[in-house]
Amino acid sequence: MRRILTSLALCLPIAAGAAESPAKATIELLTRGLSNVKTFEGPAGMTGVVGMAPAKAAGGKAQPVTFFVDQTGTAVIYGIAFNTKTQRMIGAETIVTVAQSIGELPAPGRPAAQSVAPQELAALKNASAIETGPAQGSTIIYAFIEPNCIYCQRAWREITAAQKASRLPNTVVRWIPIGFEQSGVGRASAGMATSGDGFAKLDRLFDGTPAAPNDFTQKVMANSALYESLGLQGTPTFFVVKGNASKKVQGWLDLASLSL
């Protein structure tokens, strides 16, 4: 169960196009059937492309498709990209311009909140979690995390720092460790097995030290199975619950994105 850590990304080998402008040839091939196609400057010299897939091809509803093509036209990455310094989606203005008519994308740089089904909340309560914050709180945040995910590491640092500084009052965070591959499973299980409070367990989980499977491995695998059953597509993913209000947020930007 291996995942690329940023958005929905998939690297595909593409046969080289014409001798001149191979990237353009690949773009023309992959955008056949798309409407309102636009390009923008991508990372590392790549060309970003966004267009609208027709409703028939997208399961009955028009959807934006975004991908990046390298200069040789032989490598394609599907998904969206983020600039970690500016905290903005690369090509945000162009992407939103194409997709704004159907409202599929959030404002640039802001994770989209989604509704939470009752059965999802019921399943989360049974997950094996590392808990930080007060014993009880008016707000509960369930956070799916993966030890090798850089955005999970950023969320962990900022959320726990806020908790220690009393900037998240009455908020309990239940961190649900999963593993996309063996190294992640080992580190997640090592964190859960560590003695001490939740902060100490998370310190171990994210410290980068390799770990062998232990008695908590099956719990991590069960969390990973839950992640898959909920149809989640990346980490971190947060479920925020306060009274009868709840929301799901995929991705990390800042503490404000977790408020209800």
Q: Structural domain tally of the chain?
A: 2
| pTM of the complete model | 0.62
As a whole number, mean pLDDT of residues 59-87 equals: 76
Asked if residue 154 and residue 214 are part of one domain, the reply reads yes
Asked if residue 218 and residue 123 are part of one domain, the reply reads yes
Can you spell out the DSSP letters for 157-176?
Answer: HHHHHHHHTT-STTEEEEEE
As a whole number, mean pLDDT of residues 190-201 equals: 95
Asked if residue 241 and residue 167 are part of one domain, the reply reads yes
> What pLDDT, in 10s, does the model give residues 121-173?
999 999 999 999 998 899 999 999 999 888 899 999 999 999 999 999 999 99
Window from 79-93, 181-195, 229-243 with minimum mean pLDDT: 79-93
CATH number at residue 189: 3.40.30.10
In DSSP terms, 175 is beta-bridged to 130, 143
**Domain span at residue 139?**
113-258
**Closest Cα partner for 205 from 178, 179, 183, 187?**
187
Ramachandran angles phi, psi of 241, nearest 5°: -130, 130
Window from 84-98, 209-223, 225-239 with minimum mean pLDDT: 84-98
Res 4: pLDDT: 35
| Residue 3 belongs to some domain of the structure | no
Res 86: pLDDT: 55
* 78 contact partners, CB below 8 Å, separation of at least 6: 8, 9, 10, 12, 65, 66, 67
